Amino acid sequence: MSELIKSSLFKLKSKKILNPELDLRLLLNNTNKNKKEIILSNLEEKFIDIKTFNAYLERRLNYEPISKIINKKSFWKYDFYVNQDVLDPRPETELILEESLNFVKNKKKYINILDIGTGSGCLAISLAKEFINAKILAVDISKKAISIANKNIVNHNCLNQIKTKSICFSKVYDKFDLIVSNPPYLSISEYKKTSISVKKFDPKIALLGGIDGLLFYKYFSKKIPKIMKKNSYLILEIGETQGSKCIELLCKSGLKLIKKSKDLQKKDRILVFSKV
Ligand SMILES: C[S@@+](CC[C@H](N)C(=O)[O-])C[C@H]1O[C@@H](n2cnc3c(N)ncnc32)[C@H](O)[C@@H]1O
């Protein structure tokens, strides 16, 4: 084993970083000037850009997620540019795509979609790729997030389908066939319990949903039914304990719950509502 690997693994392990070998592989591959994939045992140090590697390692030792260091996170079928201005797309959010495909059967339909709190634009862009005739409005209150979403929209050639606006969702007045959102939904106490990586490197505005985490669902119950067309759908991500409260709030506002969808841990994470 090379000295570089030995000393880097030692440093990562001493910081109790969860998957040191995997992280090291990713950092080496992202600073490798050779095309060949590094699997540690085949490392040829002469191809590593050592200055960049050391800077990346230092950042990882400071608990920065690999995605933020290499500015890349995979979601659905694509890679997205990410940095500290946007939440890293999470696997459970892909369920929103699955349910959109379940409920909007005709992928060529001319539909209007709203993505509330678009962040990196991962949902809006993946929806645009699946529903090729859809027109999508992606809003986010954070100007910095919208500029990252715009970068991803250009990278994925979706300018003709997606319009972004840096506004609060309460300022949206058009009507839509499908509304999706993964809003901030952590309570203050849940936020305090998140890892150093999340607290230091994901934007707080993307995570905190008021004292009890339900703030956005309360606002949504007042606003969203007014901007849904007849026979339209609302697909929402929720925190694992928020199901019954969210259902109560949105059903009181006249929407009908049509599906609860579970994540791999068998927790309800996605709610699908319709407006008839
Ligand atoms: C949990 S993140 C979701 C990001 C992305 N959609 C995803 O699933 O990875 C929530 C996003 O909502 C945005 N946000 C917070 N308050 C908002 C508001 N009032 N109106 C619109 N967007 C808001 C945040 O800036 C953040 O980008």
pLDDT at 276 over 90: no
The verdict on the CB of residue 89 being under 6 Å from ligand 1 is yes
Question: What is the C-alpha end-to-end distance of the chain, expressed in Å?
Answer: 64
- What pLDDT sits at residue 68? 98
Query: With contact defined as beta carbons under 8 Å apart, do 276 and 242 qualify?
Result: no
Neighbour tally for 74: CB within 10 Å: 12
> Residue of the nearest CA to atom 24 in ligand 1?
206
Query: What does each C-alpha distance from 258 to 108, 180, 181 come to in angstroms?
Result: 23, 15, 16
Tokens describing residue 84 = 């500290």
Query: With contact defined as beta carbons under 8 Å apart, do 214 and 190 qualify?
Result: no
Atom of ligand 1 nearest to the CA of 168: 20
- Rounded Cα distance between 217 and 195, Å, is 25
* Domain ranges across the chain: 3-62, 76-275
The verdict on the CB of residue 184 being under 6 Å from ligand 1 is yes
- Rounded Cα distance between 228 and 91, Å, is 27
> Lowest mean pLDDT: which of 13-27, 32-46, 96-110?
32-46
> Residue of the nearest CA to atom 20 in ligand 1?
168
pTM above 0.85, yes or no: yes
The verdict on the CB of residue 20 being under 6 Å from ligand 1 is no
The verdict on the CB of residue 87 being under 6 Å from ligand 1 is yes
The verdict on the CB of residue 206 being under 6 Å from ligand 1 is yes
Q: What is the mean pLDDT of residues 195-220?
A: 97
Say how many Å lie between the CA of residue 57 and the centre of ligand 1: 30
- What pLDDT sits at residue 35? 85
Say how many Å lie between the CA of residue 117 and the centre of ligand 1: 3
pLDDT at 217 over 80: yes
- What pLDDT sits at residue 241? 95
Rounded-to-10 torsion of CA 129, 132, 135, 137:
-10
pLDDT at 75 over 80: yes
CATH topology assigned to domain 76-275: Rossmann fold (3.40.50)
pLDDT at 74 over 80: yes
pLDDT at 1 over 80: no
Rounded-to-10 torsion of CA 143, 83, 131, 139:
-20
Of 126, 142, 164, 216, best ligand 1 pocket probe by most atoms within 8 Å of the beta carbon: 142
> Rounded to the nearest 5°, which phi and psi values hold at 243?
-50, -60
Say how many Å lie between the CA of residue 159 and the centre of ligand 1: 20
